[in-house]
Amino acid sequence: MGNCLTVGPNEALVVSGACCGSDVKTYVVGGWAWAWWLISDTQRITLEIMTLQPRCEDVETAEGVAITVTGVAQVKVMTEPDLLAVACEQFLGKSVMDIKAVVLQTLEGHLRSILGTLTVEQIYQDRDQFAKLVREVAAPDVGRMGIEILSFTIKDVYDKLDYLSSLGKTQTAAVQRDADIGVAEAERDAGIREAECKKEMMDVKFLADTKMADSKRELELQKAAFNQEVNTKKAEAQLAYELQAAKEQQKIRLEEIEIQVVQRKKQITIEEKEISRTDKELIATVKRPAEAEAFKMQQLAEGQKMKKVLIAQAEAEKIRKIGEAEATSIEAVGKAESTSSLIYRRTQIPHNRQRGFTYFQMS
């Protein structure tokens, strides 16, 4: 029985030991491997880039000048099977700090030995070549450890005696001197050449002015003809544009009128339907109730009229009856009075005659 072990691309897995006493070692990068329990041994080694900063202080150059050089190196364990096996033999079981310390000491040793063979000027002025030389010298040694130098650059070069500063000042002065000489010579040549150029310029200018005057006259004539043609074309184009715009505007206006007519017809149809609906609504909500109310009022008026007629007839009949009764009563009273008067006369005539009076009966 055993385990299935996996490893990422930034490290290598080393499986040693197998069944039957086999001494085969398996190196796996970014994959998996099988390890037997109690038999196989597994270890890991990093494949990530390691940054080193080699530094050599007060190293004498070929001229005996002591300088200090610092650099930056990028190294990593190589992944080729043979070289990976070598790196595992050298560094397996060690930490990253231990690996960096070994490689750093190797680089600093080569850097120190190379500094003793070069002058300060060679180191200071051509740093890229110096760094390339260090890589070429140190690469075989670290390669035998299974380590690859990816890059190496010189970070800084300086000394304690201001030799580099003095060297820079000397070079600066020499450059300034050469520059001043060059400027003087250039100014002299420039003056001579300027005079020659002025003479040539005057000749050329005269010819140029003559040609320019002719060209200007030709240009003005061509411009006038061109402007006339352009103005004519513009006028024609503007007239055509306005005519076409008027036609298009007329078409648009006709279409707008047609649209308005259609809209008006639709509006009229809608209004007619609305009027019809309103009429029906008025008939249903106003006319019919009004007719019913008018009929009701008519019936009530006829009833009141009939009531008044009947009352008047009854009053007239009452008055007639009263009049007839009064007439009958008056007639009866008159008859009674006539009868009473006649009786009284008859009883008084003899007595009156005795007194000499004559009574006439008024009929």
* Per-residue pLDDT at 175: 56
Choosing from 161, 183, 210, the residue where a domain stops is: 161
The residue among 230, 207, 227 whose CA lies nearest residue 219 is 227
Does one domain contain both 100 and 127? yes
The residue among 32, 36, 3, 12 whose CA lies nearest residue 22 is 36
Query: Which residue bears the tokens 């650099």?
Result: 71
Backbone dihedral angles phi then psi of residue 35, each to the nearest 5 degrees: -125, 130
Question: pTM for the complete prediction?
Answer: 0.41
Could you give the angle at the alpha carbon of 342 between the alpha carbons of 337 and 346, nearest 5°? 150
Q: Is residue 114 part of a domain?
A: yes
Print burial letters for 163-181: b (CB count within 10 Å at least 16), e (below 16): bbeebeeeeeeeeeeeeee
**DSSP reduced 3-state for 77:** strand
Does one domain contain both 138 and 52? yes
- Cβ burial of 19 (10 Å; 0-12, 13-18, 19+) is exposed
Does one domain contain both 1 and 17? yes
Does one domain contain both 6 and 62? no
Q: Is residue 134 part of a domain?
A: yes
Q: Write the CATH number for 111.
A: 3.30.479.30
101: enclosing H helix or E strand: helix 96-115
| Amino acid identity for residue 81 in this structure | P
Does one domain contain both 57 and 141? yes
**DSSP reduced 3-state for 23:** coil
Distance CA 40, CA 2 (A): 9
Distance CA 141, CA 104 (A): 12
Q: Is residue 237 part of a domain?
A: no
Does one domain contain both 67 and 156? yes
- Average pLDDT for consecutive 10-residue bins of the chain (363 residues)? 67 67 65 60 76 84 78 86 80 84 87 80 75 84 85 80 59 62 77 79 78 79 82 84 85 86 86 82 75 79 82 82 81 75 59 46 42
Does one domain contain both 36 and 106? no
Q: Which two tokens stand for residue 336?
A: 């009674």
Contact (CB, 8 A) for 27 and 12 = yes
Q: Nearest 10 degrees: CA dihedral of 244, 250, 255, 257?
A: 170
What is the sign of the dihedral through the CA atoms of 344, 347, 352 and 358?
A: positive
Print burial letters for 214-238: b (CB count within 10 Å at least 16), e (below 16): eeeeeeeeeeeeeeeeeeeeeeeee
The residue among 334, 357, 327 whose CA lies nearest residue 345 is 357
Does one domain contain both 70 and 156? yes
Q: Is residue 13 part of a domain?
A: yes
Q: Which residues contact 185 (CB under 8 A, 6 or more apart)?
A: none
Choosing from 136, 161, 186, the residue where a domain stops is: 161
The residue among 54, 170, 189 whose CA lies nearest residue 114 is 54
What is the sign of the dihedral through the CA atoms of 203, 205, 210 and 211?
A: positive
- Cα 263 to chain centroid distance, Å, stands at 41
Domain that holds residue 20: 1-46
Choosing from 128, 161, 194, the residue where a domain stops is: 161
Domain count, the chain: 2
- Distinct helix (H) and strand (E) counts, the chain: 6, 9
